[in-house]
Structure 1
């Protein structure tokens, strides 16, 4: 079985994935350190501490794959009315609730949505190909109740349907894009392979293009939609440790005082996608009603 490095060094292109080409090649199966208790005796009464499981590149890439499943389902349903194929979702994939084709009225915005949908599908296929047999299937995803809960928590109202029209769609897209950027940036210190890091940086760049596109469109909408976006931003900041810049006509870029994009830990990302702004251990909720698949699935605090 080939490694992630072997696959990525082959330079598999987005077009090959979009065409469904390429045979599966994966990473070696994950081996976690198992706990071992020491035997109690008069000479050594203190039990041996249980080793902390090692988080590997496989774990991080699967964490990213969960997020890519979410984005792909959102955009594909918005532009086509249908989500990932059974092949792309993986064996034993969870169900998807909500999502429908958006009645776009502006050709340019529909084209933007189609391009992003293609990109997110390519990301899913790329990560699944790289992980091979270690790739987790799509978890259960909620694109209906989650948005209603987010709207209520953000103070927008008791319900919100991002598929109702193109303006609502743009606000819905805003929920995801900045999270993707901060999540991939946060992974920079966790990946051990330089090749994996380079691939993650490439995906981060694409997600940042998407975020800039969506943030610009929202400022052009202005009015209530700009207010909604900043209410969502405030909710994300509360759940995910800050890392937000107020959106306005003169502040499109989401970055810190050094103009460096924000980063988030996996714990902070989980608090956002589970819609759990309060501290505490959370294993599911929000956009992932049954939690993520893989090793990194619960918040630490």
Structure 2
């Protein structure tokens, strides 16, 4: 029979060796986390520009890695309350970039179009006709929040869609942590807009809720992924004791978040409905091995992401 002290020492040594052993991170996980950098760059630069009037080249130039400066970003005409929230979002995104790059490396910041002209084109697609005057995301609080509505939810669904490909504990923990903050940002944006759901958007005839519904419908069309997106007001849904047409946090019938695969995400970011046809926020395309699967027929360490696969 083993001596209790000897058994204790053996168990302690075993635990020590397991803790000291470096965890293996697969190349597929590296490629997926680096793909997420495209979204993090987009959010970082948009929030920094809107709140401060400048971006990574001033705040954290090392994280830009010498990449192209964004097109058309500018300081928005924000009130104190909304500006304070957007500043917090901006520095959260800076932290996301730093954390991902420290864990899996990265690439130079991709070229991004944050111009009023680009947002006006997106709104035209959403509404089915040009707005007069063209939509300006930097005009006021409501316009900037509507423009912000476009972005974090795409990251949220992309991170949820990433989870099935992950094996290592450290990568799972990081993605879960990123997803938690992304979900919070999306909820804050939707909550702020929900307070003004029936408010007309000057000088247009549509109200805030109608435009969020149109933007969500556009993301569904572009991604070709049925109904993974809905705006702030929908057909009444019931719970025990009451019902509501409010949709402040969008999820399925069991309040579970939706997911999107990388190709669906790219179709939205490019604004073209095609993962191999750049445009929209990324005029010459996103960066990283996952993007190159669709842009250059490149191979990937994630076989389920091949061009011939629906993922």
Same fold (TM over 0.5): yes
1:75 to 47, 54, 62: 47
Judging by fraction of residues, say which structure has more helix. 2
Q: 2:270 aligns with which of 247, 264, 274?
A: 274
Q: Equivalents in 1 of 2:150, 2:231: separation in Å? A: 14
The reply to whether residue 287 of structure 1 matches residue 281 of structure 2 is yes
Which residue matches 1:84?
56
Give, in angstroms, the shift of residue 163 of structure 1. 1.2
Does 2:140 correspond to 1:162?
no
Deviation >4 Å, runs of 4+: none
Give me the CA root mean square deviation.
2.1
Cα deviation, 1:36-72, whole Å, max 9, x if unaligned, reads xxxxxxxxxxxxxxxxxxx611110111011100000
Contact 2:71 2:112 in 1 (8 A): yes
**Alignment partner, residue 227 of structure 1:** 210
Does the 8 Å CA contact 1:245/1:253 hold for their aligned counterparts? no
Question: TM (normalized to structure 1)?
Answer: 0.76
Name the counterpart of 1:247.
232
Contact 2:267/2:275 (CA < 8 Å) preserved in 1? no
Whole-angstrom CA distance in 1 between matches of 2:141 and 2:166? 37
Cα deviation for residue 83 of structure 1 reads: 0.9
Aligned to 1:51: none
Contact map agreement 1:276 1:282 (CA 8 A) in 2: no
Pick from 151, 163, 171 the counterpart of residue 176 of structure 1.
151
Higher deviation after alignment, 190-199 or 245-254: 245-254
Partner of 1:128: 101
CA distance in structure 2 between the partners assigned to 1:247 and 1:65 by the alignment: 28
In the alignment, which residue of structure 1 is the partner of 2:15? none
Q: 2:90 is matched with which residue?
A: 117
The one of 252, 257, 260 aligned to 2:253? 257
The correspondence for 1:186, drawn from 161, 171, 175, is 161
Gaps of 5+ in 1: 1-8, 10-26, 31-54
Q: Are 2:198 and 1:213 equivalent residues in the alignment?
A: no
| CA distance in 1: counterparts of 2:71 and 2:193, whole angstroms | 26
List gaps (5 residues or longer) in structure 2. Answer: 1-18, 200-206, 234-244, 296-306
Match of 1:4 in 2: none
Between the aligned partners of 2:212 and 2:288, the Cα distance in structure 1 is 31
